[in-house]
Chain A
Amino acid sequence: MKKTQKRVVADWVESFCLHPDDYDHLADRLLESSTPWSNEEVALSLLIFKLMQEERSQGKTQRGNGNVEIYRPDKGYEPGQALRFPVLEDIEGKVISVRKGFNWTDGEFRVIVVSCDDNCTREFASMLPKHALSTDDLGLSGIEGQTVDEFARFLLREHGTHLWGQIKKDLISRGEIVCLAGYWFPRDLLVEISSGHLNLVEAILDVSAGGPLTPEEILQQLGVRADGDRQLMIFSLNYALQQDQRFDEVGPSGSVLWFLRSMEPTEIIFPPERLRCQPVVPDVHLLSPDLEQLALHLHDEFSPENESYGAEGPVEMVLSYPHRCTGTLPLGANTAHIFPEAQISPRIKITIRDALSGDQLPGWVVQHERFVSGLGPLYEKYEVPAGARITLLPCAASSEVLVQIDLRKSVREWVLTASAVDDKLRFRMSKRLVGVHYAEEQIIAVDDVEDVEAVWERLHKNRVALEHTVLEVFRELVQLTPQGAVHAKTLYSAVNVARRTPPEPVFGELLKRSYYRHVGEAYWTHDSDSEDRYTD
């Protein structure tokens, strides 16, 4: 393909959008086929239709039959002629006068003055010897042996993301042709699913412990025969279930699974306050390169996304206290590839498999709140503390995840321990039996979970400022080492017992407040004489 032709194709793609004719064409084709079409089928059909329209309009230009012509800079025009300008969003206009054009580089040409239908008068070149628009528009006839169908496929291959994005946007905004799980069909032509059928579906899911069931399984249990239009029947059922609040679509991308909303676990309908957190806006907290690197290694799900996006294979992670407490796992950029995702469903039903015993547990991926629930029984079974190392492995089945608690021989060790004294959070070192591998700077045992949670609740309700919480926790931690120094990771982990926060705001405090002093590597100390801005 020549450079100029590439440019024209790129311009055509950039100005691509659907017109009323296109919607009518697609609705007619879907009616003829009586079956929903995939994204690719829809895109291909629309592209072929539009390319054939282009071909026809080019023919019209060549014939000059007196109708509205497509403007080409190499042609000559007379006053009174009607023109259309595809690269200017298809505006039309009438030539009102012609004059001689002048510059030193383009040779002899004329300038037509056009009164456009947006009430603007514009000037265009005509009889211009060379111009990109004068090449065979889109090169439909210039690519040897290539049919419109092949050219449409070529466009999808080369510019699919842009073209499909525009098609999808236009179809959704028009609303007449609806989409479900990557398939499209006109809303008015769907098979009617009665309220009686929907009540039956509710009962079917209820006796299946809420689900999930595929639409095929539901149809079978409904006893609905759909031999001829099976796909249409499934599409119509999915659409009806989607419109009914009682049902929740919980399948990963590419598959549809239905669950009864009333039987979904409470923690996925009302995500735990313990996990709620504002994502960190990139570059808001100005950190030193060392602290920035440290924050990156902590892989907090609310930290700005980093280069681990797009990772593959197993992931080793360190369990934080909020997730230990709520029986969940974080859904961050580094773990995203392990769990299934969905384009629309906010919740996805998964199976969690214990790599040690092979036991299966029901789990949920809660996309927006960035966590995976259902790990509680596993944490209890292996007495997993906050700070434990856990390995996540992807499975062949997209909705299954393998979780490996990294066990080791149980040994009594000194570990950081949180407790609540006089309604305040206190930290001390205590001897604990630990039977899992853990991150030394992040392990935290908790003496009385209920009391500690009561302190968290008080701090949460009173909206205590992060500055105060960090200082309180720092004062506690600094007493626990002979050197009087606190590792930044330990501070992050301990602050997360008191409130949920990503590392960046905590590390930001270390740099912002004059009473923290860096003593080397990731260790910080505290200068109580400089606490001029803080009162207890």
Chain B
Amino acid sequence: MTEASSITSVLSTALRMKMDTPFHIDFDWWEHQRREYVFYMRSHLCEEHQYKFVSEEDDDDQMLDWVDSRTGQVCRLDYLHYTLRTHCAIHPEFLTKRASLVDVIFRLFIANGNQPLTVTELALRIGREGQEKTIFRTLADESLSKGLRPVQSGSGTNV
């Protein structure tokens, strides 16, 4: 992406967003980039599962039903995502491990079941109060966003 088009992309996204806009991981966005999805999701696995997934030839395509412990709502997740959410994400270091801003936010959404959060809430949860504008700018830049996007009105499921 050229610099000009990158700026245009940032501006057009920012125009649609406000500081109180809730964000989440848009898994529809990832649908179109399956290879990158697998690679990126694997990078968040814990050591035990990094090894396990590398040793397996391919990811299991079977979808699993993940039940939200608060609401009883069911999300259909692939094996990789299910493992991340039910195993790796409950390790204390999942959120505290040194990582880029985008990666930390992505992990937070994995850990909270992709419950939408505003920039202010994100800053608070990841211990970066006062850096709301940086977070906002990062999320506004679609080239960096890793599918972290504003919640579209009317979207009912989190996944």
Return the chain B residue nearest A283 by Cβ. Answer: B130
Q: Does B64 contact A (CB under 8 A)?
A: yes
B69's nearest neighbour on chain A, judged by CB, is A132
Contacts of B70 in A (CB 8 A): 7, 11, 87, 132-133
Interface residues of B in 133-159 (CB under 8 A from A): 154-157
Cα-based distance from A501 to B82 in the complex (angstroms)? 57
Tell yes or no: B59 within 8 A of A by CB. Answer: no
CA distance A175 to B82 in the complex (A): 47
1/0 per residue A116-143: CB within 8 Å of B? 1011111111001001110000000000
CB <8 Å contact, A101 and B74: yes
Decide if A111 touches B72 in the complex (CB within 8 Å): no
With A103-B66, A111-B65, A128-B67 as known contacts, state yes or no: A123 contacts B154, CB within 8 Å.
no
**A123 closest partner in B (C-beta):** B74
Question: B residues within 8 A CB of A111?
Answer: 65, 74
A7 proximity list for chain B (CB < 8 A): 70
B71 within 8 A of A: yes
A106 within 8 A of B: yes
| A101/B156 contact (C-beta < 8 A), A73-B72, A85-B71, A124-B73 known | no
Closest to B157 in A: A122
A102 and B65 contacting across the interface, CB-CB below 8 Å: yes
Kindly identify, within residues 78 to 124 of chain A, every residue whose CB is under 8 Å from any CB belonging to chain B.
85, 87-88, 101-106, 109, 111, 116, 118-124
* Binary flags per residue of A63-86, CB closer than 8 Å to B gives 1, else 0: 000000001110000000000010
Total interface residues on B, CB under 8 Å, equals 20
Distance between Cα atoms of A123 and B82 in the complex (Å): 16
Which residues of A sit under 8 angstroms from B76, Cβ to Cβ? Answer: 123
Residues of A within 8 A of B157 (CB): 120, 122-123
Question: Is the Cβ of A119 less than 8 Å from the Cβ of B154?
Answer: yes
Given contacts A120-B156, A121-B156, contact A133 B65 (CB under 8 A): no
**Residue from the list A102, A105, A121 in contact with B86, Cβ < 8 A:** A105
Q: Measured between alpha carbons, how far is A177 from B154 in the docked complex, in Å?
A: 34
Q: What's the Cα separation between A285 and B66 when bound, in Å? A: 49
- Inter-chain CA distance A109–B69, complex, in Å, is 14
Categorize the interface residue count of chain A.
20 to 34
Q: Which residues of A contact B64 (CB under 8 A)?
A: 102-104
By the criterion CB–CB under 8 Å, are B73 and A120 in contact? no
Complex CA–CA separation, A121 to B65 (angstroms): 16
User: CA A128 – CA B156 in complex, angstroms?
Assistant: 22
Q: Which residues of B lie under 8 Å from residue A85 when comparing CB positions?
A: 71
Task: Tell me if B156 and A123 are in contact (CB < 8 A).
Answer: no
- Alpha-carbon distance between A102 and B154 when the two chains are bound, in angstroms: 27
CA distance A88 to B68 in the complex (A): 12
Chain B hits for A105, CB < 8 A: 86
Identify which of residues 30-87 in chain B touch chain A, using a CB-to-CB cut-off of 8 Å.
62, 64-67, 69-76, 82, 86
Chain B residues positioned under 8 Å from A73 (CB to CB): 67, 72
Contact A87 B82 (CB under 8 A): no
**B residues in contact with A122, CB < 8 Å:** 73, 156-157
Which A residues between 1 and 40 are near B, CB-CB below 8 angstroms?
Answer: 7, 11
Q: Which residue of A lies closest to B76 (CB)?
A: A123
The answer for the CA separation of A388 and B86 in the assembled complex, in Å, is: 65
Which residue, B64, B66, B71, B155, has most C-beta atoms of chain A within 10 A?
A: B71
Task: Collect the chain A residues with CB atoms within 8 Å of residue B75's CB.
Answer: 123
Q: Quick one: which of B66, B67, B71, B74 contacts A87, CB cutoff 8 A?
A: B71
A123 contacts which chain B residues (CB < 8 A)? 65, 73-76, 157
With a cutoff of 8 Å between Cβ atoms, the chain B residues found around residue A104 in the complex are: 64
Report the bound CA distance from A73 to B73 in whole Å.
9
Tell me if B86 and A101 are in contact (CB < 8 A).
no
For residue A437, give the distance in angstroms from its CB to the closest CB of chain B.
41
A116–B155 Cα distance when bound, in Å, is 12
CA distance in complex: A85, B130 (Å): 36
**What separation, in Å, do the CA atoms of A128 and B86 have in the docked complex?**
17
Given the interface contacts A103-B82, A125-B67, does A131 sit within 8 Å of B74 by beta carbon? no
A71 to B65, CA, bound (A): 18
Give the shortest distance, in Å, between B65 (CB) and chain A (any CB): 4
Residues from chain A with Cβ under 8 Å of B65 in the complex: 101-103, 106, 109, 111, 123, 125
- Chain A positions within 8 Å of B66 at CB level: 103
Q: In the assembled complex, how far is the CB of residue A260 from the closest CB belonging to chain B, in whole angstroms?
A: 43
C-alpha spacing A120/B157, complex, angstroms: 8
The residue that B156 contacts in the complex, of A87, A116, A124, A125, with Cβ under 8 A, is A116
Bound complex: CA of A123 vs CA of B66, how far in Å? 10
The closest CB in chain B to the CB of A282 belongs to B130
Q: A102-B64, A116-B156 are in contact. Are A124 and B130 (CB under 8 A)?
A: no
Q: Which of B66, B69, B74, B157 has the most CB of A within 10 A?
A: B74
In the bound complex, residues from chain B placing their C-beta under 8 Å from that of A121 are 156
- How many whole Å from B45's CB to the nearest CB in chain A? 17
Instruction: State whether A133 touches B71 (Cβ < 8 A).
Output: yes
Extra contacts, 13 of them, besides A104-B64, A283-B130 (Cβ < 8 A), are A87-B70, A101-B67, A103-B64, A103-B65, A103-B66, A103-B82, A111-B74, A119-B154, A125-B65, A125-B67, A128-B67, A128-B72, A132-B70
Ranked nearest first, the 10 interchain pairs of A and B with the lowest CB-CB distance are A120-B156, A73-B72, A123-B74, A103-B64, A101-B65, A125-B67, A125-B72, A87-B71, A124-B72, A111-B74
Sample (24) of A-B pairs whose CB atoms are under 8 Å apart: A71-B72, A72-B72, A85-B71, A87-B71, A88-B71, A88-B73, A101-B65, A101-B67, A106-B67, A111-B74, A119-B156, A120-B155, A122-B73, A122-B156, A122-B157, A123-B74, A123-B76, A124-B71, A124-B73, A124-B74, A125-B65, A125-B73, A128-B67, A132-B69
Residues in B lying within 8 Å of A, measured CB to CB: 62, 64-67, 69-76, 82, 86, 130, 154-157
